[in-house]
Amino acid sequence: MKRITVFVGLDYHQHSVQVCILNREGVVLGNRRCENDRLIIATYVEQFGTDIRAAIESCVGASDFAEELVQQHGWSVDLAHPGYVHRMKQSPDKSDYTDAHMLADLIRVGYLPKVWLAPSSIRELRRLIRHRQQIAQSIRNTKLRMGALLREHRSGTSSFGRWTLGWIDWAITHPCLREQSRWIMERLLSQLRFHEEERRVVEQQLQSVTGDDAVVQQLMSFAGIGPVTAWTLRAEIGRFDRFRSGKQLSRFCGLSPRNASSGNRQADAGLIRACNRELRTVLIEAAHRLARLDTRWSVFAQKKRGEGKPGSVVAAAVANRWVRWLYHQMVPVLQAA
């Protein structure tokens, strides 16, 4: 039986999906809105062809939907980078009809800017690590509010280290706090304790989920890399061997300098912006530890400081070089697994 290839663009929404179907010549075979149901969409598309090559922009819910189409219907589905797809549009107008058509056309001509479709286990790990990141942000915000309240009352400084039990007792009982301010401080302290307990529970869950993960264990074997850094790298990078080189991995992590050259002017504009900011933050923090704990990176950091580089640039340079080195350490681990 002859296989008929069709190219499908899926403009995904929570309750509906705009489905555009093209043949090899780019002729529109169909373009209509369907319910967000894989069976309805598969029935509509498969009447036009048997070899389905689909594209869907990466967004909330798109990965699970794409995985269902791959596993349940045998489609070839690629995730598209929404930012790059938007830049490739030739028209300022936007509609679901044209968006779905463009996705179908990009997959047809082979110009689709693809995004890695992570397996469900990695996506679940990402949800856990990002939940922990949100809790950590809540802890930081609560601490900032407590500190601001003390500064507002000109409390001065304590002989205790910040956020130790002694410091917290000093902050709560400080005579400078008036009645309502003391009540607010007690409520903030209650929130802080709640969030810290939630973070501890989430970290226990992460430890349980990744206890048998060879990649996480290998990452934690490196100097300066603790469980939080290892969990984050495993969740956000997934497989190191999906990158062609350490340089490409470093750019994905947002650690490469952004070129801003024009004519005879050669310059850079800091680190690239298109990245996962939390992943980059974790790697920069790891770079500070590496510069203290690992002789190789300590020497490299001292060399950069000797060249007059500020501390932030030195940390970014260490993180950049370390990630490139890490790529060559981790690829063999994944290939052996």
What tokens were used for 122?
A: 């990695």
Amino acid at 30: G
- In DSSP terms, which residues pair with 78 in a beta bridge? 55
Distance between CA atoms of residues 68 and 256, nearest Å: 35
**Contact 206/235 with Cβ under 8 angstroms?**
no
Can you point out the beta strands (E) in 13-73?
A: 16-22, 28-35, 51-57
Question: Collapsing DSSP states into helix, strand and coil, what is residue 303?
Answer: helix
What pLDDT does 158 receive?
A: 76
What pLDDT does 297 receive?
A: 92
Handedness of CA 183, 184, 189, 194 (dihedral sign): positive
Neighbours of 226 (CB within 10 A): 12
What pLDDT does 280 receive?
A: 93
What pLDDT does 152 receive?
A: 85
What pLDDT does 1 receive?
A: 44
Beta-carbon contacts of 233 under 8 Å, excluding residues fewer than 6 positions away, are 219, 279, 282
Distance between CA atoms of residues 268 and 202, nearest Å: 39
Beta strands 51-57 and 5-12: pairing type?
Answer: parallel
pTM recorded for the entire structure? 0.85
What pLDDT does 2 receive?
A: 64
What is the mean pLDDT for each group of 10 consecutive residues in the chain (337 residues)? 84 93 94 94 93 92 92 93 83 86 94 91 95 95 91 80 84 84 90 95 96 92 93 94 93 84 67 86 94 90 91 92 94 73
